Amino acid sequence: QELQALGTKPIQESKTQTNSVPQLKQLNNSQIIKKVKPAVVYIETSDGAGSGMIISSDGNVLTNAHVVSGSTNVSISLSMGEKFSGTVLGRDEVVDLAIIKINSAQQFSKVDFGDSSKTEQGDEVFAFGFPFGIEGDVSFKEGTISRRIEKYFETSSEIHPGNSGGPLVNKYGQ
């Protein structure tokens, strides 16, 4: 009341605005596998093998450039066993990324991208891939972000030869 006498208005409670961004639901391990596994692929070239992830429903695959080094055409196997041929559309050896197009008109499951700028040291992550060039079921390894080095992450997830190109996802399967 004294403040009002001095011409100061009392602080009114403001209504909290609701954030229009939907809250993501944290997934358990089996839900993460169910969500991501259909978009993980096994890539074979004449010189070796690796992993990749489908990034668009029309069949674009992101992998590491070293997985498809020296190749134009590759063989791609989906986690459910279907096999397709693929064409390397481009690669950047400096950042070690490549894009492959699956040669099919089929619609594919794809990964959902998250916001890696929000990833912090200690966050739980999960690596998918086909280690040691072994076809069959997709490998799933748990770990954490050990540290961030510029735009790159170091993880405690086991990454073996052949896992290259596979996704590293968060607890929301992104």
Catalytic residues: 66, 96, 164
**Distance of alpha carbon 83 from alpha carbon 94, whole angstroms:** 29
In order, the DSSP letters of 17-66 are PPPSSPPPPPPPHHHHHHHHGGGEEEEE-SS-EEEEEE-STT-EEEE-GG
Contact status, residue 142 vs residue 84, Cβ threshold 8 Å: no
> What's the CA gap between 172 and 24, in Å, rounded?
7
Give the HSE-up count for residue 116: Cα atoms under 13 Å, Cβ half-sphere.
Answer: 15
